Structure 1
């Protein structure tokens, strides 16, 4: 039998009211409040009306009659807006305020319950983070739902605070868009609808660029297929009995021919060997319509396979350290356009306006490294490199001042140190590229931190010697460290937390936890306190033993204890 919880106990044709069945009271109450305001009944529902005094006059009687009639109408609307399972709670109530307060008390709770719900909602608001699988509309709907619940329970949540929270919680895919919005718009007046529109337009541009790249690849593949078909048609017209050219079986003087003569023989000719050769895929790009020696993506000048000859940087034969990274729209993914390694220097950093984060491959440079940060960067040839940490690096400036570089990514296979111009700007620094040099300035103090001259290969190398610090090594087992963090939790408990994904960045506990001294003391048998050999049995038998005095300084009343 179908459930009848959503069928109202009373039905009226006009007006159409939302039916409350015990769920989502905040949404239902908001709709009913709007309806009561439109009918000029909200003041009676919220505040009620006064009873008649002992000796009312005619005006008071008339006003009381009108209020009673309006209140009965409001009570009728409330009865019509609840289901059959909720109506027994309102049975016998004569005023709309009593019915409204009963529903509010039953489904919203008293002040303590509201305070607890608000605390949970504020915690959810603070922990908001956009998931990588979410799009803009889904994430904004989740944010709006939490914000509306907070406001419906009586707390004030300003629009600018919600906007700033959304900008902070977006995924790394939208880093460029959020940076532009923060720099170009006033966040104190920006609304959620305007922010959503800006981010959706950015998302559409990313999808359009991805579709364009896909169409270019398809067009290039189609052109190769057409060329192969044309070549196949010409070869078929020649016939199978024609004279072969270098590759046919017959008489000739070539190393791959058999017999005598000038490479003349019977066979299918050159196309058969071309077709057999095309079955082997290219080792550079993976396509099967050409060999590695004929690959478009292999430069014939420098013999590297990540660019073509027209885009080669080695025009003048200057093979120095050259690197240029640009951030992809899919979070922590980078494209390497050119990289030639000759001189490795851990003190040499390259300023890069396309790099999304500072990064280095030298683990010894970090004075603080969080190995829990894991991600991937994608190179221009499709290869991926792992990000295995993020930390702090200390360097020396030319004035022998100690400088700390924060949020530096550790990429083990990276052979160059990269300074992100965008991250420097975000930290409060300004960069000015002019007259063949880059000037890095602190916006707050106005001091010039570095002047980097452009090298011959049009890059900006910055020499920053590493600060040598005398540190004391104290290595603690990571499993034991998490054992202490969770109040001496056992190994199985830690493995269960990792298995259920209940703790962020909790590593896999795959070995036994070392012997814990605190756990041993906690499980040991404790002896009782020893009993005293003598105990006072009569008044004044025990003399107070806390002897105090004499004092050097007098008290406030100019008295001293001797």
Structure 2
């Protein structure tokens, strides 16, 4: 690449001297002109041999090449500072003094960087690679001002300033290795591998994992809501089941009481009719305000008769009769429609048919 100007040259703007100077040294070395930037070139004299003159001529050519690169790699303000320089070394020294200052200024800047270095710590949500980048920036700037570091110094600095999540890894390294033998690059690689392993992510997957975490949060919310609805449905079903069980238990108890002669349910009717030997009108219904249930002595009128509710009926004068079951009776209304009277007790020993006015009113019938 000698004789060819590379693209994307670094440009000095006054704030990036440390980075720019490193890049320029690499560029000078690649172009084979670094030697002339560091050392003055002797001017040939009248007594200089021809062979020496040719060597000095080649060095002068390299010096012009280095000066050309310096002109291309500074901004307008810094170009004005080196515009009158005749050699690359002269231009380099001017830039170094302008950007890094004299001895006193260098000392002040170095002390400031030392303070930043001492206070430097890894932040809670910081990636290990980002922390090493911040560390190397400060270290490189300090080295520009003459500070020197051993690998052990940097290793111990990193080990002291990591976040608590690396405590286990730090303890393992201190137990297994001698810190004086560890290179800072080896420590960085080890900690980055540990960071990726513990967090289960790589730089290429950070965005995908952020989207996945957001989706998982939404799915979790839906799942919790579904569990709440299921629990609510389960509670409703349980209540319904308990009510059904209670009804079944009551029905079972009623059946057992109806089958037992010793435990007979007594239904009290507030009526004075107790003489069943008299001939009554078995085809007529009587409305009774004191009767608690409908009763009939006509078996033919009953439909859906069930004999599970047999019981003893007790009247106001302490006389009793037997109910042999419960059924429904159909009536024809004045308008020709049918009406069903439910839960009519079949009492064959009665001579009358009693209709409970209270039951009719409860069912929505009207009396006139």
TM-score over 0.5 (shorter chain)? yes
Structure 1 residue 110: deviation in Å?
1.4
1:16-67 deviations in Å (ceiling 9; x for gaps): 3212222201111111111111122111111121223453232332222222
- CA–CA separation in structure 1 for the residues paired with 2:197 and 2:253: 58
In 2 relative to 1, CA 249–26 (structure 1 residues): closer, same or farther, beyond 3 Å? same
Choose from 85, 98, 104 the match for 2:77: 85
Indicate conservation of the 8 Å contact 1:246/1:263, yes or no: no
| Partner secondary structure for residue 59 of structure 2 | helix
User: 1:189 maps to which residue?
Assistant: 181
User: 1:348 maps to which residue?
Assistant: none
Choose from 18, 32, 35 the match for 2:10: 18
In 2 relative to 1, CA 68–251 (structure 1 residues): closer, same or farther, beyond 3 Å? closer
1:157 equivalenced with 2:149 (yes/no): yes
1:246 equivalenced with 2:237 (yes/no): no
In 2 relative to 1, CA 244–164 (structure 1 residues): closer, same or farther, beyond 3 Å? closer
Map of 1:117-128 to 2, 5 A cutoff?
A: 117-128=109-120
Structure 1 residue 191: deviation in Å?
2.3
Map of 1:259-338 to 2, 5 A cutoff?
A: 261=251
Indicate conservation of the 8 Å contact 1:121/1:150, yes or no: yes
- CA–CA separation in structure 2 for the residues paired with 1:205 and 1:59: 64
1:145 equivalenced with 2:141 (yes/no): no
- CA–CA separation in structure 2 for the residues paired with 1:246 and 1:230: 16
| Partner secondary structure for residue 167 of structure 1 | helix
- CA–CA separation in structure 1 for the residues paired with 2:57 and 2:65: 12
In 2 relative to 1, CA 61–206 (structure 1 residues): closer, same or farther, beyond 3 Å? closer
Structure 1 residue 113: deviation in Å?
1.6
Normalising by structure 1, we get a TM-score of: 0.37
- CA–CA separation in structure 1 for the residues paired with 2:80 and 2:115: 35
| Partner secondary structure for residue 130 of structure 1 | coil
In 2 relative to 1, CA 231–53 (structure 1 residues): closer, same or farther, beyond 3 Å? same
In 2 relative to 1, CA 263–84 (structure 1 residues): closer, same or farther, beyond 3 Å? farther
Structure 1 residue 161: deviation in Å?
0.9
Structure 1 residue 222: deviation in Å?
6.1
| Partner secondary structure for residue 94 of structure 1 | coil
In 2 relative to 1, CA 127–249 (structure 1 residues): closer, same or farther, beyond 3 Å? same
1:441-499 deviations in Å (ceiling 9; x for gaps): xxxxxxxxxxxxxxxxxxxxxxxxxxxxxxxxxxxxxxxxxxxxxxxxxxxxxxxxxxx
Alpha-carbon RMSD? 3.9
Could you tell me which runs of 5 or more consecutive residues in structure 1 were left unpaired when the two chains were aligned: 1-11, 254-259, 265-562
| Partner secondary structure for residue 26 of structure 2 | helix
The one of the two structures with greater contact order (alpha-carbon pairs below 8 A, sep at least 6) is 2
Indicate conservation of the 8 Å contact 1:140/1:196, yes or no: yes
- CA–CA separation in structure 2 for the residues paired with 1:14 and 1:164: 43
- CA–CA separation in structure 1 for the residues paired with 2:240 and 2:64: 105
- CA–CA separation in structure 2 for the residues paired with 1:263 and 1:189: 90
Indicate conservation of the 8 Å contact 1:132/1:171, yes or no: yes
Map of 1:202-217 to 2, 5 A cutoff?
A: 202-208=194-200
- CA–CA separation in structure 1 for the residues paired with 2:4 and 2:15: 24
Indicate conservation of the 8 Å contact 1:51/1:64, yes or no: yes
More helix by share: 2
User: 2:103 maps to which residue?
Assistant: 111
Normalising by structure 2, we get a TM-score of: 0.55
Structure 1 residue 85: deviation in Å?
2.6
Map of 1:163-562 to 2, 5 A cutoff?
A: 163-208=155-200, 244-247=240-243, 261=251
- CA–CA separation in structure 2 for the residues paired with 1:128 and 1:55: 60
1:92-141 deviations in Å (ceiling 9; x for gaps): 21111110100001011112222222222222222222222322122111
Indicate conservation of the 8 Å contact 1:130/1:139, yes or no: yes
- CA–CA separation in structure 1 for the residues paired with 2:91 and 2:240: 100
Choose from 25, 34, 57 the match for 2:49: 57
